[in-house]
Chains A and B, each alone.
Chain A
Amino acid sequence: MSEKYEPVIVGFLCNWCSYRAADLAGTARIQYAPNLRAIRVMCSGRVDPQFVLKALRDGADGVMIAGCHPGECHYVNGNIKTMRRFMLLQKMLTQLGIEEERVQLVWASASEGIVLAEKIDQMTEALRTLGPLNWKKRVLNSGNGYQAAEAIPVLEEA
């Protein structure tokens, strides 16, 4: 890969608003960070927290869940359920040491291509600042876990 660190974001975009917003951003040729890899779901309410954890475990630096604005959900209130899950998930992710910038919930209506593009740009930059997550290598397989090798100098080596 190039010298510059390019974060990878897995995006769960709802079929009716945010996926269409991404379509619109493309159609309007809005230029934004190509770092989001989108997965289409019918509603942000379909996003099982397992998906978020799976993406983080499998190498994503961040996860974006995008849906219709509250009150505009095409399934009436699927996005409200997403909010409930997201807020509890964020609380748990904090316990797991995952910075809140890494998992974001954003709203973009079908006409807000520019809004979605901006959010993706912002998130990409935020992740660039945080640096790679690289869960399997840096957290699980590092023997001592993330950064701990530096933090604990004398515990096991004689």
Chain B
Amino acid sequence: MAHDAGGSGPPRDTADSQLFPRWATLAARLGLVSLVGVPAILLGLLMALQYTPYVTGQTLVRNQPVPFSHEHHVGGLGLDCRYCHGSVEKTRFAGLPPTHTCMTCHSQLWTNAAVLEPVRRSLAEGKPIRWRRVNALPDYVYFDHSIHIAKGVGCTTCHGPVDRMPLMRQAAPLTMGWCLDCHRQPEAHLRPENEIFAGHWTPPPDQRERGRELIRHYLIRTEHLTDCSICHR
């Protein structure tokens, strides 16, 4: 135990003859701070991560069995969305063109282009083309294309300027928050009927006013739009 070194004259001890070196103090303080700080920062990053394309899949492009270019067909040839996505006005599901639809043109054009081989095979073998889904929602979300079309939400509002997409890309984060933003104030995005299928559409300067006008026009009950039961069943 402690020994009392009594003696003549005041004994002198040097500051370094002790348990911890000088730097230990700084280390301990940093340690204490990081003990709290590091987990906090990690959590913060984790939260931030949720907003990144890494999680939401925004801007994500997928390779397709057939490198179908909306840019060419919509932007170039000016096909109407509904030519291929036939049920977009009728049902929940926008619909994908049956192989038959592709062949209406491609039985004449590019009849032996290599890229179209899968299409021809599909028709020949009666096997569907396996497209890879780009805009995917979780299965507990019941999104209905037809009602959005009917109430003045244009295709590009969610799908982005497809007429400039060589390969289909997920334009929006498709998070619940993103849906809510529009469901909370639709006026920012509503369009008149004739512009719904417009290839790319930029809101006019007085969109707010027009939007409110359109809400009345389409008889949209905004208060109901944030009900859970609107999307979840």
Instruction: Say whether A and B bind each other.
Output: no
